[in-house]
Structure 1
Amino acid sequence: MSAPHEKTPQDDGHESEPEMLEADEVGEEVNVDDEDMPMDSDDENEEINLQNDSVAYFDAHKDSVFAIAQHPVHPTLIATGGSEGDADDAPGKGYLLSTAAAASRPVLPASFSGDAAQPQSTELQFIYPIDGHTDSINALAFTLPKGDFLVSGGMDGKLRVHALRVNSPTAEAASVQIKFIAEAQEVPEVNWIAACPSPKYPNTIAIGASDNSVWVYTIDIAAGGGNPANCLQLVQTYWLHQAPVTAGAWTPDGNFLCTVSEDASLYVWDVWGEAAAAGLVESNGQTTVSLTAEDQRFVVEGGLYSVAVDPKGTLVAVGGAGGAIRIVSLPRLASSAQAGKGGKSKSASDVVGGGQILAALQTASDSIEALSFTTAAGGPGQISTLLAAGSVDGSVTVFDAGRRFAVRRSLVGAHEEFSVVKVEFVKNSWLLTTCGMDGVVRRWDLRAQDGGLVKEWKGHRGDGEGGGVLGFVQGETGERVVTAGDDGVVLVFEA
């Protein structure tokens, strides 16, 4: 689930303004494959070691689990989505479940308690089935800030809304009430759903679609005349992309929505008119930043497939084909009534436009499918802004924004030769969690002088055997990681 970078002369701190960079400045390169134990190549004596590090599992899915989401207030509530089978006409299917029943593993090994048997993983039961999709569910989101609604999006183009109420702070299954209330079907396929984080605009979501469109809805039963079936209130639709919209991310304040597409374009949408009020909207009246393949400084042949915004909302990173990454500045808004330091009122000079290409990076050999920012404390008074990028070539690269996006750590073969599907920092920390099509979840400590691998969780099929990890959630603390498996299994791992 996605550290601010200081880029203006007025900003304090140790970070300097990033510039256009040929990323050949590597802080440390770690070849993970070189650290592996050699394998016996004798096929006649081959042994298959089945390892399951999970504390709990859920296996009701009949096919791949494509989507996973975590409740923002009650992190034990998990929604999963996928397909009801591998047939072409198999409907979509999802589940709401609670991981509260998953027992923690003892700190000491089993041999200390006299029971050397491998600890058993807890089987989880679902609370509610997510039905109504005629094709796979491939996007899920709980609305912010309180998780009042669960929204599912499918390859059938349907957007379905479920109202959710939790009557206990511990969110046991019996305390959860959920029901379907509304749906919309305006697009051929829903590619992703992103919940708006602004408390000014609660229960707002954005979706990106296969028909090149972006839609923003607010879920408001009162605005629908009190009829839940009319709760999906359309806020905006955008049609500037010329190919399927592959990824989207809100700025932390929820003012802007950043989207990318297979046509290699980036648009930053002024959803609520904040940029227009500050005089920063572009001539189309919709965007505050527009970058396309027509700009040779920005062009990424083959398209863009990932996007992330730093926690201060000053930068957006986009990743795409061939390992290309572009770093772009975002607008900075300031209200005339907002007081600055020393009680001084902020003026129009504090309003800064965005769209400057700050860095062009390329270290991986294949497409960048996952990006994540963090802001982490270093020495006294030092804050580092890091960007992690996961590639189809199996590598993970970490860039330091304070050093003009120089490479801080290169994890070659982080997931062997298999695609990295997701990278995500534990909030405000140096800990990075990654997953890939090798079926393994790994956690890295980027402060470490060695390879930095501090944890590895196995249990999913992988290695090209109809498996892999297609996503995970880890809350704000990273204490538990819940995965979505291509093998149809959801696993709960404990850090």
Structure 2
Amino acid sequence: GHEGAVNSVAWSPDGNYLLSGAEDGTMLVWDMATKESLRPLVGNEGGIHSVIWSTDGSYLVSGSVEGTVRVWSVDTGENALLDTVVGTVNSLAWSPAETYLVAGAEDGLIRVWDLVTGERLPLLEGHEGSVNSVAWSPDGRFLASASADGTVRAWDPATGESVLLPDHLAGGAGSVAWSPDAKYLAAGATDGTIWIWNVETGAHLATLAGHAGEINSMIWSPTANDLASGSADGTVLIWREEAVND
């Protein structure tokens, strides 16, 4: 396996394989039937902090501590350097149709690439700290970002303009997650609280307290009624609709 901390994992679309990226710079694809790893993916500079899988299962994307964004062929293991950014690539996300790739990086900038042309769109600027998490809304209209500066923004990728959600998260924002209907946005703070907004109105709906450590990951249920959160305190909590919409 890996010889360093595992920073990011991603399922293959069919659920048969799991991709893992680690601090030692290695990426492994695991066969879930045998629980064994296939050939390692070699060619990264520095630790891997973010990995994602394409929906057709044919290629992978990785982001490293050295700022490289690489696209990998699952079949051959070969890779191509898409771009190099300043600082660690903390988060990667696809647009719903996978025509665009977005990366949030340590330098506070957000980069979007058009994968049809291979060109990078104008930088999305506004955060004053590391961009820790990025997520595209399911309807493709907005891009959300969470930063170490404690702010959460919703961007219009077409114009580059953003709406700064009106609350400051103590200690910084570490993760963001859209509801399936793209109506609600959740952000996890380093102090263990979770903030919920109605993106259409900008209204702050709830602040959820229950974790004792930083929120590392969140996901909504398919019905958008419940929210699951995982924390550095080692717990996973399920928040019911009445709490989320309080």
Query: TM-score by structure 1 length?
Result: 0.38
What is the aligned-residue RMSD (CA, Å)?
2.0
Are 1:389 and 1:396, in contact at CA under 8 Å, matched by a contact in 2? yes
1:316 corresponds to? 60
1:397 CA drift (Å): 0.5
Secondary structure class of the residue paired with 1:313: coil
Gaps spanning 5+ residues in structure 2: where? 200-246
1:303 to 47, 56, 77: 47
Structure 1 CA distance, aligned partners of 2:88 and 2:195?
Answer: 27
Superposition deviation, residue 488 in structure 1: 4.2
Aligned equivalents of 1:323 and 1:458: distance in 2?
A: 30
Is 1:423 equivalent to 2:134 in the alignment? yes
Percent identity between the two aligned chains: 29
Q: 1:456 to 1:491 in 2, by over 3 A?
A: same
Q: Distance in 1 between matches of 2:39 and 2:119?
A: 25
1:368 aligned residue: 89
Mapping 1:411-490, distance limit 5 Å: 411=124, 413-416=125-128, 418-427=129-138, 429-448=140-159, 451-453=160-162, 455-461=163-169, 467-490=171-194
Q: CA deviation at 1:371?
A: 0.5
Q: How many residues align?
A: 199
Give the letter aligned to residue 308 of structure 1.
I
Deviation at 1:471, TM superposition (A): 1.5
In the TM superposition, residue 264 of structure 1 has moved relative to its aligned partner by 0.6
The CA distance in 1 between the partners of 2:6 and 2:26, in whole Å, is 9
Equivalent runs, 1:99-118 vs 2, <5 Å: none
TM-score with structure 2 setting the length: 0.74
TM superposition shift of 1:329: 1.6
Amino acid at match of 1:310: S
Residue 491 (1) aligns with residue 199 (2): no
Amino acid at match of 1:394: G
1:341-420 map, 5 Å: 353-357=75-79, 359-376=80-97, 385-403=99-117, 405-411=118-124, 413-416=125-128, 418-420=129-131
Structure having the higher strand fraction is 2
Larger relative contact order (CA 8 Å, sep ≥ 6):
1
Matched residue type, 1:355: G
Tell whether the 8 Å contact from 2:9 to 2:51 is kept in structure 1 after alignment: yes
For the Cα contact (< 8 Å) 1:460–1:485, is it kept in 2? no
Q: Is the contact between residue 369 and residue 390 of structure 1 (CA under 8 Å) also seen in structure 2?
A: yes
The equivalent residue for 2:11 is: 250
The equivalent of 2:73 in structure 1 is 329
- Any conservation in 2 of the 1:311–1:375 contact (CA below 8 Å)? no
Q: Which has the higher helix share?
A: 1
Alignment of 1:154-193 (within 5 A): none
8 Å contact kept, 1:482–1:492: yes
The gaps in structure 1 that reach 5 residues or longer are 1-239, 274-284, 293-297, 331-352, 377-383
